[in-house]
Structure 1
Amino acid sequence: MTITHYTSKDAKFFQYLDKEIFVGDVLDPSNSGHMSAGYYRNKKKGEKNEWIVTYDEVLVVTKGALTIRTADGAKTAKAGEIIFLTKGTALVYEAGEDDTEVVYVSYPHWMDAQQRSEHAHLLNSYHPVGGSAETA
């Protein structure tokens, strides 16, 4: 059995366009055979990014509040609450408060699933950042 400990300092962060929205994996195909896990940070209340999930995803809000908007309406989770998204959901992630942070877990690997989907073009909105989102 192996136990590995990660913090946000271990994440490989990507930034959404020129906004202060960051996604950083700590589990990816290099260290996990089945799933992804990492951090989503959105620094400004009301900032949004559109997406279509091509995997199942659990979002655990650790700071602030996160609103998920879909054609069916909106759901907001605050620190300590969880949102579950199923494969195929078209949505908008929106920070409900400044400095929102979320821990996500996806199955299978979110980036691999996205690259193999008809929605791969959505990845073009992200670019790698040096260091962590805390210093970006």
Structure 2
Amino acid sequence: MSGVTKATSGDDLEWFRRLDQNLQLADAIDQRHDAAMTVGFARYGAGESNPWTVSYDEALVVTRGRFSVESGGTVTTAVAGEVIYLRAGTDLVYRADEESEVVYVSHPHWLAATESSPYADRLADFQPATS
């Protein structure tokens, strides 16, 4: 793999949907690319939310819309061009205040970290998205 990689949400990515929600995510760069972190895209319809516990450090870069993270009774909201940082071990709820797209960057790889965490059962909520 080259030392420089570019990805867009319009690339031919494998998208996953959470339950029957208008909420999809796709990893663009991860361990399959011999990368030390995961970079991907999340698309949330207005009002969609996802309770989660991050077992990895994560940065969320909002590229479209208004997106919030609620944790410990505090809501942190960001709009396009802003970043929210999440520390491993944080219980939270991701929420789209309006239709949103977010770039996520996690270290270590979010999937591997979640699979080996007490929250691995939450991964069953995500299934391949159909067009």
State the Cα deviation string for residues 29-54 of structure 1 (Å, max 9, x = none): 110331100001002x2211111100
- Are residue 49 (structure 1) and residue 50 (structure 2) matched? yes
Matching of residues 6-45 of structure 1 within 5 Å: 6-8=7-9, 9-43=11-45, 45=46
Matching of residues 70-89 of structure 1 within 5 Å: 70-89=71-90
Amino acid at match of 1:101: E
CA drift of 1:17 comes to 0.5
Q: 1 CA distance for matches of 2:91 and 2:49?
A: 13
Are the equivalent residues in 2 in contact too, given 1:10–1:26 (CA < 8 A)? no
Q: 2 CA distance for matches of 1:26 and 1:10?
A: 9
Matching of residues 101-120 of structure 1 within 5 Å: 101-120=101-120
Counterpart residue number, 2:121:
121
- Are residue 95 (structure 1) and residue 104 (structure 2) matched? no
Could you list the structure 1 runs, at least 4 aligned residues long, displaced by more than 3 angstroms after superposition.
none
CA drift of 1:2 comes to 2.2
Are the equivalent residues in 1 in contact too, given 2:29–2:35 (CA < 8 A)? no
Structure 1 vs Structure 2 CA RMSD:
1.2
Amino acid at match of 1:110: W
CA drift of 1:7 comes to 1.5
Structure 2 stretches lacking a partner, 5+ long:
none
Structure 1 stretches lacking a partner, 5+ long:
131-135
Count of residues paired in the alignment: 129
Q: 2 CA distance for matches of 1:88 and 1:11?
A: 28
Q: Percent identity?
A: 41
Q: 2 CA distance for matches of 1:54 and 1:21?
A: 20
Q: 2 CA distance for matches of 1:33 and 1:62?
A: 22
State the Cα deviation string for residues 66-121 of structure 1 (Å, max 9, x = none): 110112311100110000000001111110112x0000100000000000111101
